[in-house]
Amino acid sequence: MIAATPPMGWNSWNTFGPNIDEGLILETADAMVASGLRDAGYKYLVIDDAWMAPERVGGRLMPDPDRFAMGIAALAAEVHDLGLLFGIYSCAGTHTCEGFPASYGYEDVDARTFAEWGVDFLKYDYCYAIAGADPVQLYRRMGQALRQTDREILYSVCEWGAHKPWEWAASVGAHMWRTTEDILDTWESVSRIGFDLQADLHPYAGPGHWNDPDMLVVGMGGEGHVGRGGMTDAEYRSHFSQWCLLASPLMIGCDVRSMSDSTKNLLLDPGLIAINQDPLGRQAYRVGVAKDHGPAETWARPLADGAWAVGLFNMGDEDGRLMSVGWEDLGLRLDQPAGVENITTGEAAESLVGSYATNVDSHDVNVLRVTPEL
């Protein structure tokens, strides 16, 4: 099954925008291997907007001849040789958001071209959609065209959550769909996109089809980062932890050729990745007294082995907030003994009953694995 667990990889857009070429892609592929990202599960290397030449040639999309001189098939082959999968981008309208030719009216030929090139992942955007077009039809056309190729191609729908894609995208063959506008490298953006806008979406996610609150901004605020803000280590930890709890696709957006140690350690955290990739595929939801946006938010999801993953998020400005999760929030009897592994701090406790409490600093998180004891 494609995307039995949330897709993991890297996408060029967040850091590089339209300034991409084959050299960058090959260096990124090497860095994904050398840093251990590939072996941790980050398999898809996706080229976003602006890879195309300004015009079709013989009715087919072509890569920009200067920036992608080797051609996409050869580039995809090099990426495959490193044990990675290769992704590309087009748009359901006449042009991409950057004004390059897109797939409206060319769905079949483009899907065949992508398959011939060895593409494994298509991100399909929504700029320049023709007036009055039905988005469901537009996305169905490309979904059918992809299925008619002889290649397994992961289909990533990107219409920014504008037409409630969680209600229809899986039925047109999508494996993931954006639920929101573009993410920015700011706490304000992350707390809106990853928390407020996800609260009601958990029923729609599951193996093979995932809500996508956009790509990761972890590590973008480091040295050499251009514009957009940047976040603290605690805020990046909350962002990554929440994307793991949400069973969100984990598409890295920073420059992986020059990650700091704290960025690398976070993106490679085995406890968090295991939660994200849990085979049950349940997306976390808010639990606890407030069940609402507030300075203290508790999110939880059941895991395949009967444990629960819990995120205690201090969304407020005060450090050291006392936060807790009660067994009743996890559907456990209050006298049920459970082991608690605090994945964020590395602490562990056995045979707790009733609740677990800990102090969490401003904009930080503690992620727990609560395992009922037999």
Instruction: Give the binding site for ligand GAL (CB under 6 A).
Output: 13, 48-49, 96-98, 125, 127, 158, 160, 182
Helix or strand (DSSP H, E) at 366: strand 365-372
Nearest Cα to 165, choosing from 145, 179, 155, 154?
Answer: 179
What are the Cα distances from residue 239, in Å, to 97, 140, 186, 323?
A: 26, 32, 10, 18
**Which residue, 13 or 195, is less far from ligand GAL as judged by CB?**
13
Which CB sits closer to ligand GAL, 78 or 182? Answer: 182
Tokens 């295991």 -> residue = 274
User: Given the complex with ligand GAL, which of 99 and 316 has the nearer CB atom?
Assistant: 99
Q: How far is 211 from 179, CA to CA, in rounded Å?
A: 6
**Distance from C-alpha of 246 to C-alpha of 278, rounded to nearest angstrom:** 11
Residue type, 156: S
Backbone angles phi, psi at 79, to 5 degrees: -65, -45
Let me know: does 155 contact 144? Beta carbons within 8 Å: no
Active-site annotation holds for 21: no
Q: Which residue is nearest to ligand GAL (CB)?
A: 97
Nearest approach, Cβ of residue 95 and ligand GAL (Å): 10
Nearer to ligand GAL, 254 or 338 (CB): 254
Q: What burial letters (b/e) apply to 23-52, b meaning 16+ CB within 10 Å?
A: ebbbebbebbeebebbebbbbbbbbbbbbb
Q: 296: which 2 tokens?
A: 């203290």
Residue with Cβ nearer ligand GAL (119 or 272): 119
Options 48, 49, 110, 125, the catalytic residue: 125
Minimum distance, C-beta of residue 181 to ligand GAL, in the bound complex (Å): 7
Catalytic residue from among 108, 182, 233, 361: 182
Question: Closest approach of Cβ 307 to ligand GAL, in Å?
Answer: 34
278: annotated active-site residue: no
> Smallest Cα–Cα separation from 107: which of 121, 88, 120, 94?
94
Q: Closest separation between CB of residue 182 and ligand GAL, Å?
A: 5
The pair phi, psi for residue 111, each rounded to 5°, is: -60, -40
Q: Among residues 13 and 210, whose Cβ is nearest to ligand GAL?
A: 13
178 vs 116: CA distance, rounded Å: 26
What minimum distance in Å lies between the beta carbon of 236 and ligand GAL?
19
For 234-251, letters b (16+ CB in 10 Å) and e give bbbbbbbbbbbbbbbbbb
Distance separating alpha carbons of residues 236 and 262, to the nearest angstrom: 10
Q: How far is the CB of 15 from ligand GAL (least distance, A)?
A: 12
CB of 249 to ligand GAL, least distance (A): 12
Cα separation, 72 vs 215, in Å, equals 23
What is the residue-wise DSSP string for 82-145? Answer: TT-EEEEEEESSSB-TTS-B--TT-HHHHHHHHHHHT--EEEEE-TTPPTT--HHHHHHHHHHH
- Closer residue to ligand GAL (CB): 28 or 96: 96
Active-site residue set: 125, 182
